[in-house]
Amino acid sequence: MIYFLIPVLAVLILLILFFSTLIITVAGFKPTEGKVSLTVNSDRIFQENDVLSIITWNLGYAGLGEESNFIADGGKSILPPSREIVQKNIINIASFLQENSADIWLLQEVAKKSRLIFNLDIWQRLTQNSSEYNYAHSPTVKIPWFPIVGRLITGNAIFSIFQPYQVLRHNLPLEEKGFLGIFQQKYNFMSAHFDLPSLKRQLIVVNLHLAAFDEGGKIRKKQLEKLRIFLLTEYEKGNYLIVGGDWNHRLTDTDFITTTEEKYLFWVHDLPADFTPAGWQWAFDETVPTVRTLERSYQPQENYTCIIDGFLLSPNLELLAVKGYDQQFKYSDHQPVRVEIKLRSDRIKTYE
């Protein structure tokens, strides 16, 4: 009998060690707030009369193009369909950003080399092709190893032809259960700070990615509260602020055609009516959806689509143009949005 128990106990011990190591590995990433490492390739300074162009885009780690579905959204898959499809997404994402040049890119779900995308690396591709940009990366997930997906590092990134004097990470409240009930994405927003010496002010550009799967949108509300405090505090100093990114809230009512069942819209929540500060302006293209559901691969006028990606501008900024790019979700489950703005020197005043 004892000889039978020995291998059973050995297996149990190995399983305990395996899951203990897994839990420690998953929970080990605890990023702190503060300065983010910045790679400097350009010392160009933003001038107060410049027109500033910005593109925001959630890249879906290059694994959520038109062919993909995803388990967390009601689909069946964790990995993308193939390495070739991920490679196609990476090539076209990089090409789009190069061909539709903007002064600043605010990118979310930018993945480094991992098994999740067949050991490809979209971060490396973007940085190698962007020698004129300064750039910084702030992870939301950083796991050395995990079953099926292996190594996984993905997060927010800012690219800028202008040199910020600092880029900061601001941690946000976390989902209670985390992704698939296993681990929490370390949601954060990044702020790039540009000096405006002649005005004795700052231009602050924020890259945002809020939670997606928190029950009832409760954590998202707390995240918005922290963001709002930051925005108003900086605006009270007379600074200029623009926030771009994946808000994970419907920013406006839409009526894009869909056949998606209601049960797959559990993550959809409207932006709280009391969030937007008085005098602040939203910028998004109402004609182009920015996100699709992932319960199945993309089928036009089948998958539910809406607008959750866009920009919020402080009252001392002037909106010149905004454009959404309809790519039919070929390379990501999100679509890019571009904005052009300029400073309003006549609106240097504190928030009232």
DSSP characters over 121-163: -HHHHHHHT-TT-EEEEEEEEEES--TTT-SEEEEEEEEESS-
Helix or strand (DSSP H, E) at 105: strand 104-111
pLDDT of the chain, 352 residues: tens digit per residue: 555 555 555 445 544 434 444 444 445 578 889 999 999 999 999 999 999 999 999 999 999 999 999 998 999 998 999 999 999 999 999 999 999 989 999 999 999 998 889 999 999 999 998 999 999 999 998 886 556 556 778 999 999 999 999 999 999 998 876 554 456 789 999 999 999 999 999 999 999 999 998 888 999 999 999 999 999 999 999 999 999 999 999 999 999 999 999 999 999 999 999 999 999 999 999 999 999 999 999 999 999 999 999 999 999 999 999 999 999 999 999 999 999 999 997 655 443 3
Residue position matching structure tokens 């800028």: 160
At residue 175, the 3 state secondary structure works out as coil
Q: Phi then psi for 274, rounded to 5 degrees? A: -95, 10
pLDDT of the residue at 116: 86
Instruction: State how far the Cα of 207 lies from the Cα of 220, in Å rounded to an integer.
Output: 16
Instruction: State how far the Cα of 308 lies from the Cα of 249, in Å rounded to an integer.
Output: 5
Contact 311, 54 (CB under 8 A): yes
Q: Copy the structure tokens of residue 296.
A: 């199945």
Q: Please, where are the H alpha helices in 197-265?
A: 218-236
Give rounded-to-5 percent helix, strand, coil for the chain. Answer: 25, 30, 45
Distances 58 to 24, 62, 157 between C-alpha atoms, Å: 29, 9, 10
Q: Which residues pair with 134 in a beta bridge?
A: 160
Which amino acid belongs to residue 156?
N
Of 96, 29, 93, 104, whose CA–CA distance to 61 is shortest?
Answer: 93
